[in-house]
Amino acid sequence: MILPRLTEASLHSARSGAILPTYDRGATKFGIVHIGPGAFHRAHQAYYADTLLHADKRWAISALSLKSTTLRDAIDPQQGLYTLVELGAAPRARVIGAIRELLVGPTDAARAFARLAARDTRLVSMTVTEKGYCLDARNELDASNADIAHDLANPDAPRSTIGWLVEGLKRRRAQGIPPYSVLSCDNLPDNGAVLKRALVTFARATDAALAQWIEAEVASPRTMVDSITPATDDRLRERTRELTGLDDRWPIQREPFTQWVIEDLPAMREADWPSVGVTLAKDVGVYDRAKLRLVNGPHSTLTYVGLLRGHETVADAMRDEQLASFVERLMKRDLGPSLGSTPGFDAEQYISAVLARFRNPGIRHLLSQIAWDGSKKLPVRIVVTIGEALRAGRPVHRLVVPLAAWMRFVVRQAKAGVAIVDPDAARLADIGKACTGEARADIERFAACEAVLPPDLLGDERFRRALEASYENLAAPKSALTAELSA
């Protein structure tokens, strides 16, 4: 049976259980430009904006992809509409209408800059992953990055997120228009401050007055975002057809749980975000640390150890009782205590909720997807906690397991000739091919990845001994991992 393509005209044909936008999309104004409209943005921030648009028409989204045309080609014929499927006990489909246009940087630069410079644009948000900020190991702007060097020389044709943001702000300042707020929704510690510092550094390289204006006037709140969002596949497309009766070429899916915490700055009071479930908090730090350490850290652990043990998804890995027990111990004995005591935050309850989310059988979250960009993710998810534990005299034998498992994963991929998805892929492939399996020598090779294995940690004999032991144990077949995972 041929189903109608999802469009505004076909919404009346949707099956009765589907949730549809009831506001007039044509009456909305573009208040948000979002850079990096991948699955997470469409499942998360666009969902909140869609909810807000039912009461406040000022917050439609202009989505800007810096390079890829894939999303635009898929949902432009759908007028930006797409389906969000919540994977609970009874899956629920909701058509999201918040994204009203999709632009691609290289082909739509004039339109994108016009949107960035428009007075109605109050917020520029982004989900570009950690590597999209072009930072060095100290989380400072990397002036040697090829895209940053290009953008400093060619500000009218930027390639990087930082280049787009600064040029947009420059054009607003030249027209006497107040700056937009910038909102990083990526997993960077203190992401608002890191983003603001990168913008100021970039601007200072060519225009000191602009840098001073950005530093003084641009709001860059700290944020924390959370919701497990598996990649779209043909199984989801078929499920979407069953739920809606419409043909959607690029639906997205996520777990029912979703959280968005934003630093409570005056600029964020221009919209009633709390009315749609956003938390405005004076201190985002506790939420941020809890998510990085008790969601992202265990996720990476499940991923790299799970892949070594032959698992495909997070739920599969959680059905491995030995691995699931290890992750629970890691959370309760190492990651939870690292947060300290915070009034109003119940670590035990949070951990129980996270473990339940990981076990959700409705979520098919591929470990191979979570494994991407490990050299950027592990430093903030695990390495920082290891440093703190060493300074406090706490054990690190469990904390080093995800690092050792990542190293073993890199070696396995490299020796099998399988591509490693990582901004440092070429170097990792060379390291992996050169490894022999001898722990001390292989760790010396990986020491070139200083963000994951900082020199100060490698200089600590407690860390090195624990990492060597874990690396050796994880070389064994699945049946020999008992000692490592029972520690």
Q: How far apart are CA 67 and CA 55, in angstroms?
A: 33
What SS3 class is residue 134? coil
- Conformational region of residue 42, where left means phi above 0, alpha means psi within -120 to 50, and beta covers everything else: alpha
Domain containing residue 164: CATH number: 3.40.50.720
419, 469, 378, 145 alpha-carbon torsion, rounded to 10°: -60
Please give the span between the terminal C-alpha atoms of the chain, in angstroms, as a whole number: 55
Percent of the chain exceeding pLDDT 90 equals 89
Q: Would you state the pLDDT for residue 484?
A: 58
Average pLDDT over residues 383-412: 96
> 2 lies in a domain?
no
> 178 lies in a domain?
yes
Q: Would you state the pLDDT for residue 480?
A: 47
Sole residue written with tokens 């100290």: 138
Inform me whether the pLDDT recorded for 80 exceeds 60.
Answer: yes
Domain containing residue 347: CATH number: 1.10.1040.10
Residues 101 and 142 in one domain: yes
Which residue type, as a one-letter code, is found at position 201?
A: T
Q: pLDDT tens digit string along 141-153?
A: 999 999 999 999 9
The pTM (predicted TM-score) of the whole model is: 0.79
Q: How far apart are CA 68 and CA 84, in angstroms?
A: 21
CA triplet 100, 102, 104: central angle to 5 degrees? 160
CA triplet 451, 457, 459: central angle to 5 degrees? 125
Sole residue written with tokens 């698992």: 311
CA-to-CA dists, residue 317 to 213, 304, 441, angstroms: 49, 10, 30
Domain count, the chain: 2
Q: Would you state the pLDDT for residue 485?
A: 60
> 5 lies in a domain?
no
Partner residues linked to 469 by β-bridges: none
> 437 lies in a domain?
yes
Range of the domain at 400: 285-485
What SS3 class is residue 482? helix
Tokens of 352: 């129980």
Average pLDDT over residues 283-287: 89
Residues 431 and 291 in one domain: yes
Inform me whether the pLDDT recorded for 400 exceeds 90.
Answer: yes
Q: pLDDT tens digit string along 184-233?
A: 999 888 999 999 999 999 999 999 999 999 999 999 999 999 999 988 99
Q: pLDDT tens digit string along 454-480?
A: 999 999 999 999 999 999 999 875 654
Q: Which of 62-66, 110-114, 240-244, 336-340 has the lowest mean pLDDT?
A: 336-340
Inform me whether the pLDDT recorded for 389 exceeds 70.
Answer: yes
Residues 405 and 260 in one domain: no
Residues 108 and 182 in one domain: yes
Residues 41 and 107 in one domain: yes
Q: pLDDT tens digit string along 178-196?
A: 999 999 999 888 999 999 9
Position 340 confidence tier, pLDDT thresholds 50, 70, 90: confident
Q: How far apart are CA 247 and CA 68, in angstroms?
A: 23
Residues 427 and 397 in one domain: yes
Domain limit, last residue, from 263, 281, 299:
281
> 6 lies in a domain?
no
